[in-house]
Amino acid sequence: MLKNKNILLGVTGGIAAYKSAALVSKLRKTGANVKVIMTSSACEFISPLTFQTLSNNIVHTEMFNQLYNMDVEHISLAKWADVFVIAPASANTIAKMANGIADNMLTTVFLASRSKVLVAPAMNTFMLNNEATIKNLKTLEDRGISILDTQSDVLACGDEGSGKMLEPEDILFEIESALTEKDLIGKKIVITSGPTVEKIDPVRYLSNYSSGKMGYSLAKEAVKRGANVTLISGPTSLDIPNVNKFIRIESTLDMFDAVESEFENADVLIKAAAPADYRPAKVSDEKIKKDAKEDLESIELVHNPDIAKYFGNIKQKQLIIGFAAESQNEIEYGKGKLKKKNLDMIVVNNIKQKGAGFKSDTNIASIIDRDGNVDSLSIMSKECLAEEILNRIVKLF
């Protein structure tokens, strides 16, 4: 979604400046064009050459070196940007921005800017909580500038508390969000994700290879578009995204209960999880020993409830979107599930295809609508697929 977008990054003099190099690298991987402005203090922390190499563009550090450039650089940079993000933003630069001071390239471009501006503060807790900084941040916020949160941690100076700059992937998320149309405002979207785990005894379980990446990508995309998002997730190794409500579950029965508690007020239920279809009939309280009478040569299983089918049959205003990962005949199975479970849309893929599996970062999916129309998509990242799915959900309202 950032492909060909122009991102202007302002870097100021703080220890977090090194993290902005990773931000530039991530931005470039999305296909964005990146230009960097550094204050002279920032150059004490990290070399302009690093940003020049990563952004593939000249880094702007001076106001007055335009001998070979007929553009008025501070105006053309301000015009060029789709988003201007200042990360890290020092207390000093924040104070200048709040007060209209334009004494270097960064603050001058800010004054001339017409794009969205994001400020990622990074400083010692006491500097952040100083009345002057609080007032300056409030002034900027009141003028429509987005002030990003900071994290709490042990800071580089040894103090503990807020003031640590957000991680590059979180800032990337905020940049994407700033450029995303808010077409899901007022909609509550419940998303299930990941595998479920069915206990056999205190050390053993049945599960599957679902990574949760598809559901988490959907949750992040829905948040960017302004939805109120509840993410119900089985065990995954992914970072918890910044959703309105996160419910961690283990078993399919837990997932059923969590969906039940959220369903009534939901506008959309997206079933991107891979809940286990079966669970052991009996869960042992103690670890089953190799030589025990009830050894593990066979395990009796019972059916778990079919969550999509259950809610498909009792739904009222809700839209229900299903997923089907098959190893053969995915379109045929998908159409069958769509009908049987009373879904509004189903996303199917063949897990045997290269680039379309559970753990993969990509997927090759077909989307089948209520009338059975099949839209076969090419290979794409799960983030892009999330965008495609939500584009279609918006049209169903």
Ligand X SMILES: Cc1cc2nc3c(=O)[nH]c(=O)nc-3n(C[C@H](O)[C@H](O)[C@H](O)COP(=O)(O)O)c2cc1C
Out of 5, 9, 13, 214, name the contact with ligand X by CB under 6 A.
13
Q: Which residues, numbered 126-145, are part of the site for ligand X (CB under 6 A)?
A: 127
And the tokens for 263?
A: 């369903």
Provide the Cα torsion 21, 55, 24, 88; round to 10°.
60
Out of 122, 258, 320, 343, name the contact with ligand X by CB under 6 A.
122
Q: Is 177 among the residues that bind ligand X (CB under 6 A)?
A: no
Q: How far is the CB of 60 from ligand X (least distance, A)?
A: 13
Q: Is 10 among the residues that bind ligand X (CB under 6 A)?
A: no
Reference 10, options 72, 125, 102, 134; nearest CA is: 102
And the tokens for 223?
A: 């948040």
Q: By C-beta, is 20 or 217 nearer to ligand X?
A: 20
Reference 214, options 170, 255, 272; nearest CA is: 272
Q: Which of 58, 134, 157, 240 is catalytic?
A: 157
And the tokens for 46?
A: 């990290």
Q: By C-beta, is 130 or 353 nearer to ligand X?
A: 130
Active site annotation includes 157: yes
Q: Which stretch binds ligand X (CB under 6 A): 8-16, 48-56, 67-75, 289-297?
A: 8-16
Q: Which stretch binds ligand X (CB under 6 A): 13-21, 63-71, 143-151, 231-239?
A: 13-21
Q: By C-beta, is 123 or 175 nearer to ligand X?
A: 123
Out of 91, 189, 272, 348, name the contact with ligand X by CB under 6 A.
91
Q: Which residues, numbered 21-80, are part of the site for ligand X (CB under 6 A)?
A: 39, 41-42
Q: How far is the CB of 93 from ligand X (least distance, A)?
A: 4
Contacts of 307 (CB under 8 A, 6+ apart): 192, 252, 255, 256, 259, 271, 275
Out of 61, 92, 233, 304, name the contact with ligand X by CB under 6 A.
92
Q: By C-beta, is 120 or 385 nearer to ligand X?
A: 120
Q: How far is the CB of 153 from ligand X (least distance, A)?
A: 13
Q: By C-beta, is 91 or 218 nearer to ligand X?
A: 91
Q: Is 93 among the residues that bind ligand X (CB under 6 A)?
A: yes
Contacts of 393 (CB under 8 A, 6+ apart): 268, 270, 319, 321, 345
Question: How do strand 245-248 and strand 278-280 relate by DSSP bridges?
Answer: unpaired
Q: Which stretch binds ligand X (CB under 6 A): 6-14, 260-268, 277-285, 350-358?
A: 6-14
Q: How far is the CB of 136 from ligand X (least distance, A)?
A: 11
Number of residues that bind ligand X (CB under 6 A): 15
The residue of the chain with the least Cβ separation from ligand X equals 14
Q: How far is the CB of 178 from ligand X (least distance, A)?
A: 22
The rounded distance, in Å, linking the Cα atoms of 104 and 120 is 19
The site for ligand X (CB under 6 A) is made up of 12-16, 39, 41-42, 90-93, 122-123, 127
Which residues carry out catalysis?
157
